[in-house]
Structure formats: C-alpha cells, structure tokens
Amino acid sequence: MCFQIAPAQTKKNPKNEFNVLNAKYHSGKLSAQDYFVKADSVVHLLFSEGTHIETKELVDLLSLYEQIAWSNNEYHRARISYYYLFFNNARMFKKKGASMYYAEKITVAYKEYGEGHPLIEQLQKSKIYQEQRLYDKIVDLFKTEKEYLESLPGLLQKDSVDESVGLNALYILSPVLTGYIEMNDATSVRQIAFLAREIGVAIRAKYPITRPQMLYTDMLMIDIELSLANFERRYIDTKNLLNQMEGLKVTYKDQATNFIDINLVRLRMENYLNLRNVDSLQAYIIRYETSPNFGKGQAADLAEFKAKLQALKGNYAQAYTHLTDALKHEQDVQASLTTELSDLLYAYTQAEHSSIALEKSEKVKQQRTFWLVLISAAATAIILGIYLIMVYRSKKAKEQLEALNDTANMQIIALEEAKYQAVRDEQQRLGQDLHDGLSSSIAAIRHQLETLLLDIDDDSLKSKMTMIKAETENAYRAARSKSHEWFNAGDKQLEQSFEKQIKQLTDNSLPDSRYNKTIHIDDDSLLHVGVDNRITLLRIIQEAITNIIKHAKAKSVAILIYEEEDKLILTINDDGIGLGDVKQKNGKSTMGLNSIRRRVESLGGKTEIHSDTKGTEIAVCIPIL
C-alpha cells in the first residue's frame, strides 16, 4: 500500500507557527533539543494537513533550525532531520527530482557520522517504481539490499543502527511485498512479511522513541499485515486490521493523523469489494469522492471502484463506461509521471537509467532530448569559448599593467636612489669643505698660539693664552669630527634608502597575513655599491620573489645582504616545495632563474641555487670594485 496525502486547505499559517516557536527559543523557554522536536512536529502537522510548502519558503521557516543544528557537532541528528523535512515535503507532493536530491543529502549526512547506509535513496526509488508499477524493478532493488535488510533486526537490537533506518526499511518492504503479490510468488510474499515483522518488533522494542516514528511504524506494520491478509483472502482479518488502523487515530491523538482517513476509506472500499458487500461499497465510494482530501490523483482509482460496483450489480454497460474513464485517468497519470521522470533526469543521475528504460518507446521525445542536449552542449562550448577569450584578454591586460607598474616602480626607485646620491654627494662636499677650510684655519690659529706662548713671560697673560689655545683645540676637534660625520652620513643614508626599497618591495608583494619575512642588511655592506648596481640588485630580488609567489607555495622568506672580504653576498631563502616538480611541470619557471643569472653576470658575479623539498636558496656573489 502507498499512503496518500492529498493537498487540502489549512487554517494554520506556517510563518506564524514558527515565529511563536522561534520567540520561545530566543527567550530561553525552549532548549535546542526541545526546539528541534517542536519544529519537527509543526512541519509534520502542516504536511499531514496537505500544506505544500515551496522549497524557498521552507528554507526561510527552518533558518533558525539550520543555524542551531550546525552550531554544534552534538546536534548531528538534527542535521539529518533537517534534510528529512525537505525530503518529506518533496516526496509527499510528487517532487521526485527534489526528493532524490534530498535523499542523497541525508545519506551524506549519515555517512559523516559513521552511519553509512540509511536506505533513504532506496526508499524513494522503490516509491517511484511502485507508482510506475514496475514491480520487477522493485524486486531487483530489494535483491541488491537483501543481505543488509535481513541483518537489520539484529542491528536494531544491538543499537548499531538508528530506528529511523528500520523505519525506512519498512517503507521499502511494503512495495516489495506488493511486487511479489503481483508476481503471485507466495513463498517470497511470506518471507518479506516475516522480515518486516522482525524489523517492526525490533523497532517497537525501542519504544518510546519519537511519536511520529512510533505512529509510522505501527501504521506500516498494519499495512504489511493487510497486504498479506488480502493475498491470502482472509477478508474478515482485513476488516479487523482496518479497525486497528482507525484505532491509531486515538492512540496517537497528540499527532497529526489526517492522512489515515483517506487511506482508510480506500482500503475499506477494497475490503467491501472483496466481501461483495454492495451497499457498504457504494456508501464508501460516495464518501471517498466527497472527501475534502480527494484529488485528481485518485480519479482513476475511483472510476475503477465504480466499474467494479456496477459489475457486482450486473450493470456491465455502466461498468464498461467507468472502466473507460479509469483508463483515461490512468493514461493522464502515466503521462504526468513520465514528465516528472524527465525532470528527475536533471536532478539525480541514477534515475536517468530508469527513466530511459521506462521511455524506450517514446522515440520522438528521445530525439528532442538529444537535440536539446546537443544544443545545450554547443551553447556551453560557445559560452566557454567567449569566457576563455575574455580571460586571455584580461590576462594580457594584467600583464601589461604589471609591466607598466614594474617600470614605474623601478623609475621611482632610480629617482629615489639618485636623490639620495645627490644628498650624499652634497654632504660629502660640505664635509670636505669643512675639513679643508675651517679645520685648516683653526689648525693654523692653534699653531700661532703655541708660538706666542713661547714668547710670553707674564704668567697672567700666559694663563689666558693657554685657555684660548685649549678652546681652539676643542673647536678644531669638533670641526674635524663634524666633517667626517657629514662625509660618512651620505653613505649611511644611501644604505638605509636601499633597505627601505627592499622592504617596500616585499611588503607590496608578500603580505604579512601570508608570509613570515626576515630582511637583514649588514652595516656598511653597500657603501661601495653604485646606484646602477643597487637597481640591478633590486631587480634580482624582485625576480626571486616573483618565483616564490608563483611556484614555491612558501610560508617564510628571508633576504640577507652582507660584505665578505671584497665581495657583496645576497641570499634569498624560502621554505617552499622546491624546484624539482616545478621544472618538470612548467618549463617557463626556469626563465626567472635564468634572468637572475644574467643580471648577476652583468655585474661580474656568480649565482648558486640550492633546492629540495624543504625549500630553495639563491646565493649571489658580486665583486665590490
């Protein structure tokens, strides 16, 4: 049996229901776990009343549910329940593609927590096959899962699987049982019924579980027994089982049980037909047709019962008319299901094979689908081509801008170096003038004072002249010291300028958020290096940094400059992946290294490169002239 839920009007406003629930959670009146239970109940109640909620609307309603569920790993069960709500919404209202999508989401959620086989995808496939009356497909699906299904009673008893997995198994076994009944395979019918009883008993042993799970378990257990009783033509037992099903409405009066009514009416019609009770059958046909839950999907079913009623009465002409109506409604349903399966092609890949098998006879539709795919592929290729052209042009423009920026940067560096060189030259000139002019004059005055002291006999005057001589010596030492200071300050400033340029270069290209940087330039190591050579050194450092960014995947970069005898040493280190794999994958990566070698050779120096999986070191040695 397939439980039916038909669309119906409801006075409940889903948004208002959740606004009240959300307010209670935010005010602290509901814990997270209580919120999940209440939210599940509200959604299930809406479903049972036939309220179809669009996916976007359901996402909005469950936004707080999702936020809480993903805030803590201990709520992983709520994450599974979250996807179940979307699955049930799609499944109950015939959105097969969406239901398969959410079934896959549920499977993934289970696997994340070590529960790898929830049977949810198999459940929905069996539902689709049942609506198409492809009982051989249902049986084939059962056979692929038979070993696992037969192990479930034991797994449930050991608490190795969740009770929801057992409930999914019952949902699968119900159409499987119908399939074997259609095949008139009595042995398999009884085996499936026995397995379903075992699983049901194992689930019931876990009571109390969630009330909705208990309701659906009891409903499915009665459904299994109903199918078996009808197969064995025990129609009085069937009547008693239907009374038990109606009793569930009392047992679970705290739950939404509206869906039981529409199923009960149909099952009682089938029972009265089997008992050949014309009056009761006629009464229930009227009740079925006038039910507020009656929809177009039940039209073929109703027409078939009307035909059988007229046949019981001996009115075969009217029976024929109703059968014709039933056939027309059935064809409409099949056409609708075929369309749904076409939608499913795009939602779930595995369903594609089933859909193709079902639609082999529709050659025209297959051709349309082929041309649609071909046109889509061509359009995709054209769009991809345009995209690649745009990417190429964007890349070329980016390269041009980078080249322009590099040129501008180096020109700025050259101007900065020239400025500091001019300042250095002026300071050294002033120092030289101070040394050659003022210092020399003071030295001459000091010498004359020393000569005068030799000729003075007056002690008082001699004492004063000695003091003047001492002050003159102090002035001489100050002037001489200042001249040396000015002369050397220009070199110091030029060296500091170069270190500033290196830091600016690395700060722009190697952000602190991604790289650990160490830059050290020894004092006086660049005193004898000219402007042109300094710019060449900056180019070498720039090329090395470019290689690090593009290929090294490094986290740390170190730049060291020091003087060793009559040579300037520059080393650049990184902790990246090394050059071995890069050279094999991309020959262009060596162009940067060759550029470094050529620049070093232009300065009369040598380059050594050491690289392994722990990183790369570039060592440059340049003679100081």
Vertex 32: Cα angle to 28 and 35 (nearest 5): 85
The pLDDT-based confidence of 1 (bands split at 50, 70, 90) is very low
Question: Helices (DSSP H) in 10-54: which residue ranges?
Answer: 14-26, 32-48
pLDDT at 117: 80
Task: Tell me, letter by letter, the H, E, C secondary structure of 139-169.
Answer: HHHHHHHHHHHHHHHHHHHCCCCCHHHHHHH
pLDDT at 583: 53
- Rounded CA separation 165/256 (Å): 22
Q: Provide mean pLDDT across the span 410-423.
A: 56
Whether cis (ω within 30° of 0) applies to the bond prior to 208 is: yes
Vertex 543: Cα angle to 539 and 545 (nearest 5): 115
The pLDDT-based confidence of 367 (bands split at 50, 70, 90) is low
- Beta pairing partners, 606: 621
pLDDT at 144 over 80: yes
Whether the full predicted model's pTM is greater than 0.85, yes or no, is no
pLDDT at 165 over 50: yes
pLDDT digits (tens, 9 = 90+) for 522-581: 867 777 777 778 888 888 888 888 888 888 888 999 999 988 888 899 999 999 888 875
CB of 519 closer than 8 Å to CB of 502: yes
What are the tokens at 464? 């004063």
Q: Length of the chain, please?
A: 625
- Rounded CA separation 560/522 (Å): 8
DSSP assignments along 497-533, one per residue: HHHHHHHHHHHHHS-TTT-EEEEEE-TTTTTT--HHH
Which string of b and e fits 219-244 if b means at least 16 CB within 10 Å?
Answer: bbbbbbbbbbbbbeeebeebbebbee
Cα dihedral across residues 486, 488, 494, 499: positive or negative:
negative
pLDDT at 219: 94
